[in-house]
Each structure stands twice: as structure tokens, then as C-alpha cells.
Chain A
Amino acid sequence: MRALLLRDLRIATRAGGGFGLGLAFFLIVVVLVPFGVGAETATLRLIAPGILWVGALLAALLTLDRLFALDWEDGSLALIATSPAPLEGVALLKALAHWLTTGLPLTLAAPLLGVLLNLAPEAYPWLVASLLVGTPALSVIGTFGAALTVGLRRGGLLLSLLVLPLYVPTLIFGAEAVRRGADGGATALALMGGITLGALALLPFAAAAALRVNLR
């Protein structure tokens, strides 16, 4: 299992692995928004929590279709499935690898990008905390979506259609936590934590079931 995780991390960080891709996409989304809505600092401050969350979400989405696709194409997914490691564990591990290469860097980069959007000073800890709690849910929901669409030749667009509605609760609670801050943000954070834990506990089973169907 550890070898599998290390292998995934190595593939992701290698050239062409798409490690920096999500981060760069996040940066570009955040830079483009002021061009779209105007450079008014008050407006930017108002919409910063939402933009940062939507940007992080889209960046996480961008790298999802690589999650199983490469292993599927060269046949290693079938090998992994026949190994003694349970497929549920493999799905969880894939989600963890995705989070380490996407969610964690996004969380670390978000405060820097918050400066660009003139985020309120007291919102920074809430931004980091909400992304830290919420991005694992994005990864594990995405793993389920990727497992559903792995056998399809052009599954990328379908993947986003399937996964984006599933992201709605996480997005709502995440952005609300940042927007409300000390005044009610803790509730949103706790509810989002519940979603993350529930997704972590249950979705690997759904993802493994989908993988088994696709490998049949």
C-alpha cells in the first residue's frame, strides 16, 4: 500500500505528471477574476471567499481525470486490482495521493492568492482551515467520479458533469465558513467536517464498486 502511494506521488510530481497544473490553474482563475469584475477593492473583498473556493474546486477537478486513466491505459489498474490489497483501500489511497498533490498545495497557496483579491485580514485563518477540512472531500468525491468514468474514452467532460453537483454542499459550507469568519463560521466548518468524514468513510466503497464493474 505504501509502495502504491509513493508510486502515485512520484508519477504526479514527475515532469508531465500535472503536479503544478492545478496550482497554475488556481493562480490564473484568481488573476482573471479582477479583470472580469473590475479592480474595486471593496467588491473584490466581498467576493474573495467565493472566488478562492470556486478556484480551488475547479483546480481540484482539473486533475481528476488522470487519477485512474493512466493506470487504466497501461493495464496496471487491473494488476493492482488482482493484488491482495483491498480495492477500497486502493481508492482511498488514490484519493490521498490526489489530495497530497492537489488539495494540500492549494491550501498552502490560497493565502497568497487571498492577498491578490484583498481578502479581509481576519478571514485568512478561516480560509486555510476550511480548505484544509474541505479539500479531502473534494479529492475523495472526485475519486468516485473518476472511478465511474474510467472506462470511457472521453470521460473528462462527463466527469465534471457528474462531480460538480456532488461538490455543492462542500462548496457552500467552505465559502460560508470564510465569509462568516468568527461570526458563525465554526458551524459551517463543523458541518463541512461532517461531510468530509462521511465521504471518506463511505465513498471509497462506492468507488471500489465502480472500479470492479469497469474492470469486469
Chain B
Amino acid sequence: MSLWDYANPRKFLAVTTPLLPWLAAASALLVGSSLIWGFFFTPEAERFGSTVKIIYLHVPAALMAINAWLMMLVASLIWLVRRHHVSALAAKAAAPVGVTMTLIALATGAIWGQPTWGTWWVWDPRLTSFLILFLFYLGYIALWEAIEDPDTAADLTSVLCMVGSVFAILSRYAVRFWNQGLHQGTSVPVATGGRTVADVYFIPLAIGMVGFGVLFVWLVLLRTGSEIRARRTRALLARARRMPPVPLATEREA
């Protein structure tokens, strides 16, 4: 019994399908409580007023936007090395979720930036890196959509994901060389353990980050399951087309 057993599509579906409602409920509970707590039961920050409350959407979405790409990279590598179809389909399923997270982060950032920085958009390194990440997601999804043969598509998108990861990191440093920006540093630095957010704001934020993580897992499992079923349906249809047509009852009578 190893982890790779779950690469069997049947086993994957058998394990994940009963999990889906639980994951959905958990993410709804966590994200919902984080948002309600954050929006209604935290004090307003003295300098930012109520605008700061958008952080409960912005930070978890931005976090998951990057982690989704990371997950796609790992899944692509597994596909290239071990040729598990579920892995390729999971990478495919994660991309639209990731692009949505990126869009949420960009949109909430713009909405927050307007009253705070006085502008919807600045060419700040962090904002620009996210915009470039968005473009990478678009290219990746477009390549999946453009290729008909599923194995070819999985191979090519995996290669693109690997090359794209390197260039996404390169872009991030290139952009910092190009422009020093307005965006504040990270609020929850994992490496140093310290943080610049007070506990009243941090606890709902942490719940939100966990909640978005569960939401992501739920959506990816759900979408991977439907990709597997769609592929199964296609295989059944192809098999039906190859078989000699069975005459319908009405035709036989006529």
C-alpha cells in the first residue's frame, strides 16, 4: 500500500468522492467564519479605516494563487516521470482555480489600492509579478485547450509549466530590479516567524488562509474527478462508434 495506489483513477474516485461534501462544508465554514469575523468583529485600523478588511480575501487568494502553480508544477513532474494520468488531470484541473485566485488577488488589490495609494494600479514589483503570473496561467490553459490528443496536451503543458516556473521566478527578480514599489512587505513572514499584523487581525486571517487552502483542495479534487469521468465518457462514446450500429426498433419494423 503506497501513495501511488491513488494514481489509479478508480481508486482515486472511490477515495475522493465521499470526501468532497466534507471538504466543501469545511471550506465554507472556515472561509465564512474568517470573512464574518474579519468584516464585522475586528476593530478598524487607525490609519486605513475599514478598507483594511479586504485583507481577508486578498492575502489568502494571493497565497493560493502561487501555491496552485506550485501544485501544478509538482503534478506535471509526476506526470512526466511516472505517467500517472490522474496527476496530469489534477494539474489541468488546478489551473482555472489558480487563475481565479490570481484574479481575486489582483482585483481586491486594486480596490484596496484606490483609496489607500490613490490609484487603481501601479507598476509595483509585486503587482507586476502577479500580472505576469496571470499571463502564465492564461498561456497554460490555452495550450491545454488547443491540443486535441490528451496525452500530447499533458506532455506539452507539463514542459511549459516547468519552463514557465523558471521564467516566472526570473520575472519576479527582474521586475524588482526594474522598479522598487509601493506594496508593503509580507505581513506573515514564514521564514523569520515574526509578523507585522496584530493578533486581532491575524487569527481570522489565519483561518481564512487555511479555509482557502481547503477550498482549493476541494475544487481541485472535484474538477479532477469530473475530468476523469469526462475522459471515461469519451472513451465509451468512441467505443460505441466503432461497434456496428444496432438497428433501432422502429427501423427494424419498417
**A residues lining the B interface (CB < 8 Å):** 144, 148-149, 151-152, 155, 158, 161-162, 164-166, 168-169, 172-173, 176, 187-188, 191, 195, 203, 206, 209-210, 213-214, 216
Contacts and interface: CB of A to CB of B under 8 A. Distances in A.
A158 B163 contact: no
Main secondary structure of the interface of A (DSSP, over half): helix
B178 A172 contact: yes
Given A169-B170, A188-B177, A162 B132 contact: no
B162 interface: yes
A188 B175 CA distance: 12
Contact of B147 (A151, A164, A176): A151
A55 B146 CA distance: 28
Interface string B124-167: 00000000100110110011001100001001100110111001
A166 B160 CA distance: 10
Interface residues on B, range: 20 to 34
A151 B152 contact: yes
Interface of B: 132, 135-136, 138-139, 142-143, 146-147, 152, 155-156, 159-160, 162-164, 167-168, 170-171, 173-175, 177-178
Instruction: State the 8 A-B residue pairs at the shortest beta-carbon distance, nearest first.
Output: A169-B174, A165-B135, A213-B155, A172-B174, A169-B170, A162-B139, A168-B171, A172-B178
Given A152-B146, A191-B177, A144 B163 contact: yes
Given A172-B175, A216-B152, A166 B143 contact: no
Given A151-B152, A165-B164, A165-B171, 5 more contacts: A158-B146, A162-B160, A168-B132, A191-B177, A213-B156
